[in-house]
Chain A
Amino acid sequence: MARNRLYALKRPYPRQSWNKHNVYNIYRYRLPSTNNRTFFQQKFKAKQETRRFHGEYLTERKWNSMFRHTLRGVVRMNPAEMAANDGSSAVAGRGSGLDINPIFKRGMKRTDAHEPPIPFAQMTFAPLERRLDTAVYRALFASSVRQARMMCLHGKVSVNGVKMPHAGYMLNPGDMFSIDPVLVMKAIGTAGSRVYTKLSEKAKEDLQIAIEEAQSKKKSSTYLKRDDKKVLAGNTKAEIEGGVIASASSAETPDENAKEGESETAPTEGDSKVLKLPHDWRTYLPKYPRWKLYDTWEPKRFMNLFAFIPRYLEVNHNICHAVYLRHPVARSGSAEVPNPFNHETMMLAYNWYLRRR
């Protein structure tokens, strides 16, 4: 798995991630130009661009074995119409139906008569959507496909209640996959420790005294002993319960104005003594309580730009379970594989892989 230059700024490529570098890259992304290029060059460029987005951590050999030239599509049927006629009118006349309303009348557009075409080429990378890691990302359980892959490899993802440590497991229709909600909340939320950015003056003083004591007791280690930590936990807990944290979490508009503006070091207030907390003061605090994350969860930055769940998944975030309903399909005017490439680029990429079949 190549790690270098994933979110390069100089030669940017869109990736499947909510990383700020990636958001910036997608924001200024321009589709590859086809001017003055041979057909081969166009196909190669399109293949390069699309593969950098879809499963860039897979080797070309692996992807080639997954590629299928048959693309799934659906047509919406109308039961009332099917009940009214048996379809024989569609082949009447010279074999393509009688022209009751000739479509190319003057002043009439083609779109008035026809449904938009099915963007089949957008389904080129549909086999990748079956992979467990991609499905975990699509279900909004991870903030990037690589993070989802890591979750799988670490054995955090179960399929039908059985631990599935293979990120490349191909989901079958009806498979249910699940992750621990705490892990999901950490993956797609802001870090829980941010709550401790707001400490009152009293808490800061207590903390400083406790840290100094700890450092004087044992010079080799700057960390508090477990017992001391518990004492400290008692002190800060009182402050946290006393409304400092509560006010931060109860604010209904989480604009994060207050939090971002907060400086980490303690501010000086007139005649009060200057507090100098070490840069790693958060490590002295008790671990952020697991249960609190359930109430004070905040989405990760830029999550709203990627907040959508494709139709082939049914997701329940309450329990962090999701069901893979069926394979993704294309229908008139839309395809179910999310990507930033237009139809022409995908057509070229599809042709590239078709070439070898």
Chain B
Amino acid sequence: MPPRLRPSHLPSAANVIPESFSSSPLLPFLLPLHHIYTILPSSSRHAQISPSSSRQFSTSKPSNARAARGRFEKTPGTRNGLIDWLKKVAPRLNVPSPRNNVPVYMTYHNNPLPVLQSAGDKKKKDSPLGFKKRTRKLDLNTVDWEKAAQNATMSPFPTNPSFKVHPCISTEFREQIYQRVKQGRSIRRVSAEVNCELERVAAVVRLKEIEKKWIEQNRPLATTMQTRVHAMMPISQWKSFPQHESITDLRIHPATNNQLFLAVPESMPFNRKDAGDALGILPADERMPHSELIGVERMRLQGISVEEMISREAQREKEEANTLMAKRQRMEARNNAGKVVETERFRFRLKPAVTGLAGHRYGVPAEDRKRGITKIPTRVV
């Protein structure tokens, strides 16, 4: 059967989208995959009958091509789609300096920035037809930034709602953490005070130390970049009782992923410690970061006075510092045991040993000297 040609007086059906979809936000999802579409201004909406359809087999563009195009039409080259998008959509997506730390992510297309009431009224007067006129550039002064901050979607990818952006800590927040640690408080204590993870507090102090050193050396800081980058993303500002993130996140132990059938007496309680014993791991009370908070809460439940709680906590911190110091000394003693020979790459700790008793003396041959094999270091001390 020969291919059926569409009558020439009808517009080309292949790429025509029903007009009812025209204002739908779902349009990109309704279109077939990888469909390149263009949205023409409303003036050409009524150009229903296309003269170009009478020249179906012509490869040259008609002279009045622009007027003849339908409202949505597949463009001949994908590059045209990009150029149209760059003109029409991209200026609205590119918001280099939003206010109030409102993140403008790709999901912005479905949830545009709210416009101030007065500005909205003005716009309505401009368009007598009642529909929103497409403005190419976003006027940042007309945006209701407070409302935008409330409505902000924290997922940068429209197709993945399970990835959410967590705010960063502000520069003032970092300074506060640094000052607290400089006052002689332990990392653990500061972490609990400012509700930041232990690792984060330690990292902030390390980074701040370098920053202070740079200031001393009169090395320039990229403060402009820092402020501009922070303006684009959600930030948790410093407060008297900051709630930045959860500090008691317990890592799921791989041993707990498998089912374990255990016969336990019905009359006996089976608590977290028993569960840890059964799985062969430490109980959650000890594995959890900031496990000392459980002790504090327990004291609170027992109705112990605040002074007593503070003194007990101080005692515990002192003991902890002592054990840590002892551990460090042990480690240092171990590292410096025997004769130490430092080379560029290795630090040899030579100990007297008796040879000739074991079977293999030199172990497995290493392949890292072979041609074309790169040995990437696994750690940098």
Check B86–A20 contact: CB distance below 8 A. Answer: yes
Q: Which of A9-17, A198-206, A216-224, A236-244 binds B?
A: A9-17
Interface core residue of A184, A256, A257, A323 (most chain B CB under 10 Å): A323
Q: 1/0 contact trace for B361-381 toward A, CB 8 Å?
A: 000000000000010111111
Q: Of the candidates B95, B230, B245, B298, which one forms a contact with A83 in the assembled complex, judged by CB atoms under 8 Å apart? A: B298
Check B96–A304 contact: CB distance below 8 A. Answer: yes
Check B163–A299 contact: CB distance below 8 A. Answer: no
CB distance from A114 to the nearest CB of B (A): 16
Q: Of the candidates B202, B211, B284, B296, which one forms a contact with A316 in the assembled complex, judged by CB atoms under 8 Å apart? A: B211
In angstroms, Cα B200 to Cα A329, docked, is 15
Check A166–B376 contact: CB distance below 8 A. Answer: yes
What is B's interface to A at a CB cutoff of 8 Å?
28-29, 33-34, 36, 78-79, 81-82, 85-86, 89-90, 93-98, 103-106, 109, 137, 140-141, 156-166, 168, 171, 174, 197, 199-200, 202-204, 206-208, 210-211, 214, 220-226, 228-230, 232-234, 245-246, 248-252, 254, 257, 269-273, 275, 284-285, 288, 290, 293-298, 300-301, 374, 376-381
A28 within 8 A of B: yes
A58 within 8 A of B: no
A225 within 8 A of B: no
Q: In the assembled complex, which residues on chain B have CB atoms less than 8 Å from the CB atom of A306? A: 156
Instruction: Check A27/B210 contact, CB under 8 A, given A170-B378, A299-B96, A317-B222.
Output: no
Check A305–B163 contact: CB distance below 8 A. Answer: no
Number of residue pairs across A and B with beta carbons under 8 Å?
A: 272
A175 within 8 A of B: yes
Q: In the assembled complex, which residues on chain A have CB atoms less than 8 Å from the CB atom of B297? A: 79-80, 82-84
Check B226–A318 contact: CB distance below 8 A. Answer: yes
Q: 1/0 contact trace for A315-326 toward B, CB 8 Å?
A: 111111111011
What is A's interface to B at a CB cutoff of 8 Å?
9-12, 20-21, 23-24, 26-31, 33, 70, 72-80, 82-84, 86-88, 91, 119, 122, 140, 159-160, 162, 164, 166, 168-170, 172-176, 181, 184-185, 188-189, 253-257, 291, 294-299, 301-311, 314-323, 325-326, 329, 331, 333-335, 337-343
In angstroms, Cα B28 to Cα A31, docked, is 12
In angstroms, Cα B140 to Cα A164, docked, is 42
CB distance from A183 to the nearest CB of B (A): 11
Instruction: Check A254/B222 contact, CB under 8 A, given A77-B248, A79-B297.
Output: no
Check A82–B284 contact: CB distance below 8 A. Answer: yes
